[in-house]
Structure 1
Amino acid sequence: MTSDTRTRLLEASAQLFREQGYAGTGLKQITAAGEAPWGSLYHFFPGGKEQLGAEAVAHSGGRYLKLFDIVFDGADGDFVRSVRDFFQLSVEALERSGWADGCPIATVALETASTSEPLRHACAEVFVSWQEAIARRLRAAGVPDGRAADLATYVLSAFEGALVLSRTAHDTRALKVTGGIVAETVRAALP
């Protein structure tokens, strides 16, 4: 058993949580999807599903943060375009996946925030890291510190809410409309 097995279990968990939620995902499903022997799950995650879930949330959060950086770095400093691109990527992912490809962090957070402190904490840490990344980019674009932090909270909240609405409705209108409004709000905040 190698760390590759551990990574496959984390990635399989994140994918399944994103598609069917934490409670709807069984450990046997995870090991099958991760092409891992059953015993490897408890070898790498002796705390069971809750430990695996918390680590999968952190792993997935880091991967999405890298995607965020790729989108924002690819826009040559045009923060408004980056916001629009990020929303559009989610529109395309939702449509391509048949409405299954939502945010793995929000999916787990909505299910577990009141029932599992380790999972709530893992989700909260990811959301904070995303807010900080957005605020850092806004500050680099000239937005003052306090305003950048508030605007980052707004951007992330609007994105996550629009993603939930679009996924639930099987209609990307909420993401498209919200992406446009968020982009214009950001444009107005830039010096």
Structure 2
Amino acid sequence: MTGTRERIVNAGAELFRRNGYTGTGVKQIVAEAGAPFGSLYHFFPGGKEQLGEEVIRTSGMMYLRLFEIFFVDGAELVPTVEAIFESAAETLRETGYADACPIATVALEVASTNETLRIATADVFTAWIDHGAAGLIAKFGLAPERARELIIAIITSLEGAFVLSRALRSTEPLKVAGAAAAHAARAALVR
């Protein structure tokens, strides 16, 4: 059985991913969590902003684990990069283009208006870059500078493709971005 606090965080993550931070109300979150309204403020005295920060940081670390799923011993770099984008496209198709990255969704909304949430999204993206670069070095033998450049290219391509794919209701942007990221991976191997 999941505790009330965890249910609230999970409900917030789901709703922020689908509706964005500003498009999600605290009443929606507690209803989705099956929790009493006052429990949100019990666990998050700072209200929606504190919950938002927790959701960003928790979700960000969950998505960080995807590197372990894709960056495995014995895998080849280019097919791995292609698989990342194919998996993202499959998720969007299966969810009717509703499930994308909650970190990017929130970052796009609040980067200019909410410093607490901007810092949380920046911390998550930094963790992804650092962890991803370390994985590219350890699993695929890339030089540190190349690994950092490639993981930034992968993350930015993926996040941008999510935005276009959701708006267009098409996985074409993910296919194109995936091909470009695979090309960048090939180039990183040659260097």
TM-score normalised per structure 2: 0.93
Q: Encode CA deviations 1:38-71: one digit per residue, 9 max, x unaligned.
A: 1110111000000000110111111111123123
Instruction: Specify the SS of the correspondent of 1:177.
Output: helix
Q: Distance in 1 between matches of 2:60 and 2:158?
A: 15
1:138 maps to what in 2? 136
SS of 2:3's equivalent in the other structure is: helix
Quick one: distance in 2 between partners of 1:156 and 1:65?
A: 11
| Paired residue secondary structure (1:185) | helix
SS in 1 for 2:65: helix
**Pairwise CA distance, 1:79:** 2.4
Report the count of equivalent residues. Answer: 189
Q: Give yes or no for the alignment of 1:62 onto 2:35.
A: no
Moved over 4 A (4+): none
Write the letter of the residue equivalent to 2:132.
Answer: I
CA deviations on 1:9-63 (whole Å, 9 max, x unpaired) are: 1111011001011001000100011111111101110000000001101111111
How high is the TM-score relative to the length of structure 1? Answer: 0.93
2:124 corresponds to: 126
Percentage of pairs with the same residue: 50
Give the match's secondary structure for 1:157.
helix
Aligned equivalent of 1:78 = 76
Q: In the superposition, relative to structure 1, how do residues 4 and 76 fare at CA in structure 2: closer, same or farther (>3 Å)? A: farther
Unaligned runs of at least 5 residues, structure 2: none
Gaps of 5+ in 1: none
1:167 match: 166
Q: How does 1:46-57 map to 2 (within 5 A)?
A: 46-57=45-56
Tell me the distance in 1 between the aligned counterparts of 2:103 and 2:50.
15
Q: CA deviation at 1:158?
A: 1.0
- Is residue 5 of structure 1 aligned with residue 41 of structure 2? no
Q: What do residues 127-170 of structure 1 show as CA deviations (whole Å, max 9, x unaligned)? A: 11111122112212222112221222111111111111111111
1:103 aligns with 2:101: yes
Distance 2:100 2:130 in 1: 21
Structure 2: distance between partners of 1:83 and 1:161:
16
